Amino acid sequence: MQKEPILRVEGLRTTFTGDEGTVVAVDDVSFDVNEGEIVGLIGESGSGKSVTALAIMGLLPKSTSQVTAERIMFDGRNLARASDREMRRLRGGSIGMIFQEPMSSLNPVLKIGDQLIEPIRIHERISYRAAFDRGVELLTKVGIPSPVQRMNDYPHQLSGGMRQRVMIAIALSCSPKLLLADEPTTALDVTIQAQLLDLLLEIQAETKMAIVLITHSMGVIAECADKVVVMYSGRIAEQGPVTDIFDRPGHPYTKGLMQCTPELTGNPRRLTTIPGALPSLSALPPGCRFAPRCGLAQPACEAGRPPMIGVGQNHASACIRADELVASAAQPEGAEV
Amino acid sequence: MSKTPLLSVRDLSKHFTIRSPFRGTTVGTVQAVNRVSFDIGEGETLGLVGESGCGKSTTGRLLLRLIEPDRGEVLFQGRDLLKLDARELKAVRKSIQIVFQDPFSSLNPRMTVEDIVTEPLYVQGGMTRRDMRDRARMLLDRVGLNAAHITRYPHEFSGGQRQRIGIARALAADPRFIVCDEAVSALDVSVQAQVINLLQDLQEEFNLSYLFIAHDLSVVRHISDRVAVMYLGEVVEIAGKDALYASPRHPYTQALLAAIPVAHPRLRGKRARLGGEVSSALNPPPGCRFSQRCPFARDVCRKEPPALRGLGERHQVACHFAEELQAVAA
């Protein structure tokens, strides 16, 4: 892919100021999203994955947070310098969003139809009638039965899965070039999650929009993503094409994440674990942030921030022993993290 | 496991009546748990899976009589818990404990860790304050927490640590049986694996039996000996975990397993997906409750509810056409 990426984030940094001082929630995060690509952003709670998405969208409260970036290029524009007005035009227009909570992200006192029509009429100058028809069409597309009736329903009349379908319909309403989906299926049951992931993939195949899929589940990544960005404690631990990440993880954290998810084959007596817990953002270790939990840590790991090392095509890891790890992955399993 | 099981549940049912908020007339009945039966042996883990609203948590609470069942039997060490009076129940409760899902709301924020962990001992009585404190320290140490943190409050701990406190509390009264109600669901994967290992170690050490309620099928497979699948208040299949995951007999179990995300991107591919939504347990259909979503449903399924019946060794399924489906699959 020689074309310019649809989204290029460079050196994104987000800090929050509160009673206990200033914490850096996202620290120097850079990644590209190409046209028609699904990028999985994976990490545990507190890793900064949601904040990254909110910072890109300019949705963090200005009173308590500061977002800086070298560049956030979206479709030829630098979002890091965009005015509020420009951002408003993009949000819900060329950039769609889906949030985790289908309960709280829809307005409970507005009909589904009104919530669908609103963004369409804000971004495009079309009549109510035309926008209504578009809304019905979108509901049909996301698999909601009897869409004309549903337009008049309130959110509480729909199930969680149906609400998330409505959220997807709203996000798609202005044919976005980029969709930011923050844990879109986390609150849902497995069979509904599977339905929705299939739906997203189907729509993506048809519209060729790019998706940033934020999740904590390796399974969702394995199911959907083309490229993976692994975040740990506000920084990128590793990024690369999905099969490379699964076959040859270049960061001990990625490897640990995969090992501590129980599998559906084999019968290990014990799960491999990552000892300890995520460090608090107000007491971060000096060098590699994963070093205190890492089985491969050396004194050099605590000396300074590990640079991103290329370990394959478009595959880079922020671990000074990345080459070793990738090489050991080529051999049969056995090395413990 | 030929002895009598530690816990034996027979025809356990709980129906909630829904009344109109203004007129007080009955609008309908939610059959939250309907004629559920299973056994759990000494030192055994029974996994209980199903989607939200299927009655799995209610089942767990019925066993402890945190919710009073309408009908059925819960035989624990040969005694029917549902026939005990309050005093007898209190004595038995020390052997049956529960670990809840949410490590934030299940610990009283105004109590210290010591108070939380010793509360079951305090309720049971017969121990001095000093003995209770020693036991609390021992328990904290056992679940992997620093015993010196005994004077701290829940908010000073992370989610994983709080869940360990909840486990220490459950262990305090030296139980035989613990209901783990989505005990690891709220935790991040790296911490979840730690807590799962802890639960397994404790099981071995104290010869505990677990009812492990969860919606994550891979976690349930890892920890359970046998697995029961619930749909809309009823058990549709129970089997040893290997049999259940390798050759599920009920169409719902099959659909549930097919919905698990793949483990590796190379395994991607279109699989049969279950259409429709979980139906409501409010006034369920007369026949098989799964018939509305079942791709194999026939007329008889919509009329007659299938009974849970044996199919091979220790494999039970509630489907009229289990044998036929099996033949098709083979």
**Segment B75-127, tens digit of pLDDT:** 999 999 999 999 999 999 999 999 998 888 899 999 999 999 999 999 988 89
| Residue of B190, B221, B259 lying closest to A260 (CB–CB) | B190
Whether pLDDT at A335 is above 50: no
Domain spans of chain B, in order of start: 7-95+175-329
Give the pLDDT of residue A336: 42
pLDDT band at B311; cut points 50, 70, 90? confident
Mean residue pLDDT across chain B = 90
Whether pLDDT at B269 is above 90: no
Matching residue, tokens 């009812």: B211
Whether pLDDT at A255 is above 60: yes
* pLDDT (mean) for B135-143: 95
Mean residue pLDDT across chain A = 90
Q: Which residue type, as a one-letter code, is found at position B229?
A: V
If one compares A320 and A160, the residue with the highest pLDDT of the two is A320
- Domain span(s) for CATH 3.40.50.300 in chain A: 7-231
* pLDDT (mean) for B60-73: 95
Look at the alpha carbons of A157, A159, A164, A168 in this order and tell me if their dihedral is positive or negative: negative
Whether pLDDT at B183 is above 50: yes
- CB count within 10 Å of CB A82 equals 16
Q: A44, A189, A270: which to substitute to probe chain B, counting the most B Cβ within 10 Å?
A: A189
User: Among A143-157, A307-321, B14-28, B122-136, where is mean pLDDT lowest?
Assistant: B14-28
Chain A residues in contact with B222 by the CB 8 A cut-off are 262, 268, 271
* pLDDT (mean) for A206-232: 94
Whether pLDDT at B2 is above 90: no
pLDDT band at B193; cut points 50, 70, 90? very high
Burial environment of residue A247 by CB neighbours within 10 A (0 to 12, 13 to 18, 19 or more): middle
Outline where DSSP puts E strands in chain B.
7-19, 26-40, 45-49, 71-76, 79-80, 96-99, 177-181, 209-213, 226-231, 234-240, 309-310, 316-317
Give the pLDDT of residue B1: 46
Asked if the B7-95+175-329 domain carries CATH number 3.30.390.50, the reply is no
User: Among A247-261, A281-295, B275-289, where is mean pLDDT lowest?
Assistant: B275-289
| Nearest partner of B196 among B178, B179, B184, judged by Cα | B184
Chain A contacts to B (CB-CB under 8 A): 44-45, 159, 161-162, 189-195, 197-198, 216-223, 225, 242-243, 246, 256-257, 260-265, 268-275, 277-278
Whether pLDDT at A99 is above 90: no
Give the pLDDT of residue B245: 93
| Nearest partner of B322 among B258, B233, B248, judged by Cα | B248
Element containing residue A25 per DSSP (H, E): strand A21-33
Cα angle B213, B214, B215 (rounded to 5 degrees) comes to 145
A222–B278 CB contact, under 8 Å: no
CA distance B157 to B153: 8
**Contacts for B117 with CB less than 8 Å, ≥ 6 apart:** B136, B139, B140, B150, B165, B168, B169, B172
Whether pLDDT at B272 is above 70: no
Chain A residues in contact with B218 by the CB 8 A cut-off are 261-264
Around A161, how many Cα atoms within 13 Å sit in the side-chain half-sphere? 22
- Tokens in use for B205? 């050490």
pLDDT band at A337; cut points 50, 70, 90? very low
Contact A250, A317 (CB under 8 A): yes
Give the pLDDT of residue A65: 93
Residue B267 DSSP one-character state:
G
Give the pLDDT of residue A334: 43
* pLDDT (mean) for B181-204: 92
pLDDT above 90 as % of chain B = 69
Q: What is the 3-state secondary structure (H, E, C) of B98-128?
A: EECCCCCCCCCCCCCHHHHHHHHHHHHCCCC
- Note the pLDDT tens digit of each residue in B211-235: 999 988 999 999 999 999 999 999 9
Element containing residue A182 per DSSP (H, E): strand A178-182
Our CA dihedral for B163, B168, B169, B172, rounded to 10 degrees, sits at 170
- Note the pLDDT tens digit of each residue in A261-307: 888 777 777 888 898 888 888 888 989 999 999 999 999 999 999 99
B218–A275 CB contact, under 8 Å: no
Cα angle B168, B172, B178 (rounded to 5 degrees) comes to 75
Give the pLDDT of residue A73: 96
CA distance B94 to B92: 5
| Nearest partner of B124 among B168, B152, B93, B98, judged by Cα | B93
First to last CA, chain A: 34
- Tokens in use for A195? 């339905």
Q: Beta strand pairing status for A38-42 and A210-215?
A: parallel
| Residue of A162, A243, A257 lying closest to B190 (CB–CB) | A257
Contact B188, A45 (CB under 8 A): yes
Around A236, how many Cα atoms within 13 Å sit in the side-chain half-sphere? 24
**Contacts for A63 with CB less than 8 Å, ≥ 6 apart:** none
Whether pLDDT at A225 is above 70: yes
| Nearest partner of A182 among A96, A242, A72, judged by Cα | A96
Q: Beta strand pairing status for B45-49 and B26-40?
A: unpaired
Q: In CATH, what is the architecture of A7-231?
A: 3-Layer(aba) Sandwich (3.40)
Give the pLDDT of residue B185: 87
* pLDDT (mean) for B22-51: 91
A222–B262 CB contact, under 8 Å: yes
Residue A336 DSSP one-character state:
-
Contact A190, B259 (CB under 8 A): yes
Give the pLDDT of residue A110: 95
Provide DSSP, B33-77: EEEEEEEE-TT-EEEEE--TTSSHHHHHHHHTTSS--SEEEEEET
A216–B189 CB contact, under 8 Å: yes
Q: How far does Cα A76 stand from its chain's mean position? A: 21
User: Among A66-75, A311-320, B268-277, where is mean pLDDT lowest?
Assistant: B268-277
